[in-house]
Amino acid sequence: MTEKGKKIKQTKDKEELEFKPKHIAELNNKLQTDANKYGQKYIDFLNNCKTERETVKYIQEMAVKTGYKKFDKNTNYKPGDKVYLNIKDKSIILSTIGDSKMKNGVCIVASHVDSPRIDLKTRPLYSDSELAMFKTHYYGGIKKHHWITIPLALHGIIVDKREKVIDVKIGETEDDTTFCITDLLPHLERMQDRDRMWGEVIAGEQLNVIAGSMPFKDKNENGDSKFNILKILNEKYNITEEDLICADLSLVPAFDAKNIGLDRSLIGGYGQDDKVCVYASLIAELQTKNNQQTTVSVFTDREEIGSDGNTGLASDMLKNYLNMLCKADINRYLECIENSICLSADVKAAFDPTWAHAYERNNCGYLNHGVCISRYTGGGGKAGTSEARAEFTRRIVNTLNKNEVAWQTSSNKVDQGGGGTVARFIANLGIEVIDIGVPILSMHSPYEIVSKLDAYMMFKAISAFLETNEI
């Protein structure tokens, strides 16, 4: 038996013959200390980055502090140079220029900065029965009943008549006000249809947010509760109702990420799909030095709704960036694509014993067993997904093994369905790509749960990939 010309020692030992991922704590006690330190910094990141704009801003600020310069397509960069390209404040790409020429390929890591949430409609404010309300439209795949009767914070921007961008963040400090979507009390619910599915507990048009309840009154004019809210917004931000039309405003959970469990081994918080991979990719990229291949760390928007739009990976933004790195040389670009490799960094569903029926135990991911490799996602007959070749899968597995990164596999029940990732858009360019991510409980809920050990292993995996020099 040979591998790249080297003999592989044959064995009949049961432990070597079987693939059986272990709890990471059984492998190395020091890892727990390192994971705890990493986890605390990650919690701080989560609490400061609840929307895609906030995340991109954070990434850019960290990059600039670390020595990254704004990318200029007319500049000839040398090995070791670090650059960033901000794409409309909603996506961003970071690169560390490597020793090898672009035609020899680049190492790409793609994660997404958006998460399921509740967006305000274009004309959100209205009054009904003396209450001021916001009309909303949910973003991404959610269970709508998760978002009712929890404290919500309003994040985003408003662009006024002078085209000044006004930052909005209401509900995050202890003494600040919050918002809420109401629910029907159980006493009256008994009179309703008891056979409704969870998706019908509350309709999308019923996700109305309480904005206030007081009318406006002074000696000069009177108005209802809607007018009172407009007055408050005008005093605070100097805007009118027309300005709300020119706004990106979202409602996100108004609570912080925290440790979970008496052993503090887990992290609970909003937006960990896909911030746990975003943070790992960011820190790995910032620490990259003396690499052979150029790194391309992509932090993309719009993944939760199919990646469409000019800040999503279904657009030409990655293709255009690689073209600029290749100096618009079509032959160099085509060679670069042929020789590039990519990790699509996105979370995977962790096995939950409470809902065991939904998982195929032999192929799903488990908390504390390391990063999950998925050769394909999608559902049914492998629809809506790319699939990593066996040859490329082996290269990634060897890299993880060589760098002592705990890993496991992850895939859904065949007919259970499952979401896609950005992998297919990168694969459509002709680039070798495989999905890798952190197992997560309660995915797409306002309070997702990950393991600190798994989160730390994701950082180690991406670091190993970016610095492997084995393209």
For the stretch 230-246, pLDDT in tens is 999 999 999 999 999 99
For the stretch 38-49, pLDDT in tens is 999 999 999 999
pLDDT in tens, the chain (471 residues): 345 556 666 766 777 788 889 999 888 778 999 999 999 999 999 999 999 999 999 999 999 999 999 999 999 999 999 999 999 999 999 999 999 999 999 999 999 999 999 999 999 999 999 999 999 999 999 999 999 999 999 999 999 999 999 999 999 999 999 999 999 887 776 655 555 555 568 899 999 999 999 999 887 777 899 999 999 999 999 999 999 999 999 999 999 999 999 999 999 999 999 999 999 999 999 999 888 999 999 999 999 999 999 999 999 999 999 999 999 899 999 999 999 999 999 999 999 999 999 999 999 999 999 999 999 987 778 888 899 999 999 999 999 999 999 999 998 888 877 778 999 999 999 999 999 999 999 999 999 999 999 999 999 999 999 987 555
Residues in contact with 147: Cβ distance below 8 Å, sequence separation at least 6, in sequence order? 118, 138, 181, 207, 446
- Residue 206: count of CB within 10 angstroms of its CB: 14
**Own/partner pairs for 126-132, CB < 8 Å, 24+ apart?**
126/226, 127/224, 127/225, 127/226, 130/213, 130/215, 130/224, 130/225, 131/210, 131/211, 131/212, 131/213, 131/225, 132/210, 132/211, 132/212, 132/213, 132/224, 132/225, 132/226, 132/228, 132/229
| DSSP string covering 298-325 | EEES-GGGTS-STTSTTSSHHHHHHHHH
User: Which residues are 432's β-sheet partners?
Assistant: 341
Query: Rounded to an integer, what distance in angstroms lies between the CA atom of residue 126 and that of residue 403?
Result: 57
Query: Rounded to an integer, what distance in angstroms lies between the CA atom of residue 129 and that of residue 145?
Result: 23
| DSSP string covering 381-433 | TTBT-----HHHHHHHHHHHHHTT--EEE----TTT-----THHHHHTTT-EE
117-253: what CATH class?
mainly beta
Q: Specify whether domain 2-115+270-467 bears CATH 3.40.630.10.
A: yes
Q: Spell out the domain ranges in the chain.
A: 2-115+270-467, 117-253
- Residue 236: count of CB within 10 angstroms of its CB: 11
**Domains 2-115+270-467 and 117-253 alike in fold:** no
